[in-house]
Structure 1
Amino acid sequence: MRVVLNSLHDEVASRLRERIFAGELAPGGFLDEPALCAEMGISRTPLREALKVLTAEGLLRHEPRRGCFVAEITERDLDEIFPVIALLEGRCAFEAATHASDAELAALAHLHDKLERAARARRINEYYAVNFAIHEAIITLADNRWLAQVIGDLRKILKLARLQQLHAPGRLEQSLSEHLAVFAALKARDAEGAEAAMRTHLTRQRVALRELARQQKSRLSA
């Protein structure tokens, strides 16, 4: 019976996580537990277990005597998270340069070809998808489950912000150049160079996001 319960609350957590990432459950929004139970056809127990999981992941915040709310990501949160994830993914690039086989680097080359085609055609949604696949591939090549776990947790938080840094002027071309620099270091087995290039790539993402936020604020105040 316990196995069934665990499986159910994991499924409920997954469904709620997807709705949060899709924006169906908006940042700051209150989670109406009775309504969710009725909608999902479940009892309070698996729902509450799922809410605990999502709260531990940072996707929800729990307020005593009030309930759960979808977490909101602030500019300060982004300022604090990006340096950390830059360090972690930089280390992944370092370890990938050390561990990756020639065949694995050839597969990564194929992804970078797709990235270049998407950038030239300015297909931003496709670029985002390939960009994500490249980051995931480098994390996998690092073969360090602790790095992968912590990065995965931080990425969930960043996903809440629905970041669109490629819409900043010139950012698409800059991002492609940064990716190619990381890949060049990986091919050269330059672990320190790959680490530095990846950290630069993620640091510049934050710079682009900050500039977008500044532009949006300027437009609203005009």
Structure 2
Amino acid sequence: MTSVTSVTLSCSPIRTASLHEEVASRLRTLIFERRLLPGQRIDELALVQEWGVSRTPVREALKVLASEGLVTLQPRRGCVVTEVSEDDAEQLFPVMALLEGRCAYEAALHASDDELAELRLLHGELERHAAAHDADGYYRANHVFHTRVQEVAHNGWLSRATDQLRGFMRMLRGRQLAQPGRFEASIAEHRELLDALCARDAERAQRLMHDHLMAQLAALKALRASEAAQSRVA
């Protein structure tokens, strides 16, 4: 009979977050808040000096972000923030609409009463920012609301798939809200969605969430067309 040998493991404490993970987290925030813009080169030396770290954790962090698709390694330029092109958006939004639609479907079925009450509170934040036409505040509250719908669906596989694409959606940072009339349309779509979720009407919630994402794409395309036309005139 084969004996099982006991292995002595190191008892040294495990850090909750390594240095390169902290650097990666800060860089994600800079990208998502558009303080690092699409196409902008990331200056490793400047980060080293500003954050008081060595180049090793910065480079390791950039590898992590590259694996997530948030930055791109370019010859002779180093790392640059990934640009989400019009073609990317055309392909991304329909896929995200399917995923988030399913999140809404399962949230309507599985969310607890307390979780639905939480969604109503989060929607109240959306209402407040929409009334003030506060694009940054609305964007942040919108991200929290959509992420929470995803979480209360209670489907780990669905959440994993959705998470992989949500970062690219965040890189667009609600630009479609600059399209005239989009603020009003977006909050109206959210009101209907919340109503369907609270009524536990899964099929309606799925359809409304899907259409909400596709309306964002339509607004983004209209905004880009308008900007292109203005550029030609100038």
Q: Give the shorter-chain TM-score range.
A: 0.7 to 0.9
Superposition map of 1:123-138 within 5 A: 123-138=134-149
Are 2:139 and 2:174, in contact at CA under 8 Å, matched by a contact in 1?
no
Query: What is the deviation of 1:65?
Result: 6.3
The superposition leaves residues 109-165 of structure 1 with CA deviations (integer Å, 9 ceiling, x where unpaired) of 233344334434434443333322221221111112333233233222222233321
Residue 18 of structure 1 corresponds to: 29
Residue 123 of structure 2 corresponds to: 112
The answer for unaligned runs of 5 or more in structure 1 is none
Query: What is the deviation of 1:62?
Result: 1.6
Structure 2: how far apart are the matches of 1:5 and 1:127?
32
- Equivalent of residue 148 in structure 1, options 142, 159, 178: 159
Structure 1 moving runs of 4+ over 6 Å = none
Residue 172 of structure 1 corresponds to: 183
Structure 1: how far apart are the matches of 2:53 and 2:16?
11
What amino acid sits opposite 2:96 in the alignment? I
Q: Higher mean Cα deviation, 201-210 or 165-174?
A: 165-174
Query: What is the deviation of 1:34?
Result: 4.0
What amino acid sits opposite 1:172 in the alignment? F
Residue 197 of structure 1 corresponds to: 208
Query: What is the deviation of 1:167?
Result: 2.1
What amino acid sits opposite 1:122 in the alignment? H
Q: Higher mean Cα deviation, 77-86 or 101-110?
A: 101-110
Query: What is the deviation of 1:6?
Result: 6.4
Are 1:60 and 1:71, in contact at CA under 8 Å, matched by a contact in 2?
yes
Residue 91 of structure 1 corresponds to: 102
Structure with greater helix share of residues? 1
Structure 2: how far apart are the matches of 1:43 and 1:178?
47
1:25–1:215 Cα change, 3 Å: same
Structure 1: how far apart are the matches of 2:188 and 2:41?
42
**In the alignment, structure 1 residue 59 sits paired with structure 2 residue 52:** no
Structure 1: how far apart are the matches of 2:17 and 2:118?
37
Q: TM-score, normalised by structure 2?
A: 0.83
Structure 1: how far apart are the matches of 2:16 and 2:116?
42
1:109–1:22 Cα change, 3 Å: closer
Superposition map of 1:36-75 within 5 A: 36-63=47-74, 67-75=78-86
Q: Please give the root-mean-square deviation of Cα atoms over the aligned residues, in Å.
A: 2.5
Report the 3-state secondary structure (helix = DSSP H, G, I; strand = E; otherwise coil) of the residue aligned with 2:53.
coil
Structure with the greater alpha carbon radius of gyration: 2
Q: TM-score, normalised by structure 1?
A: 0.87
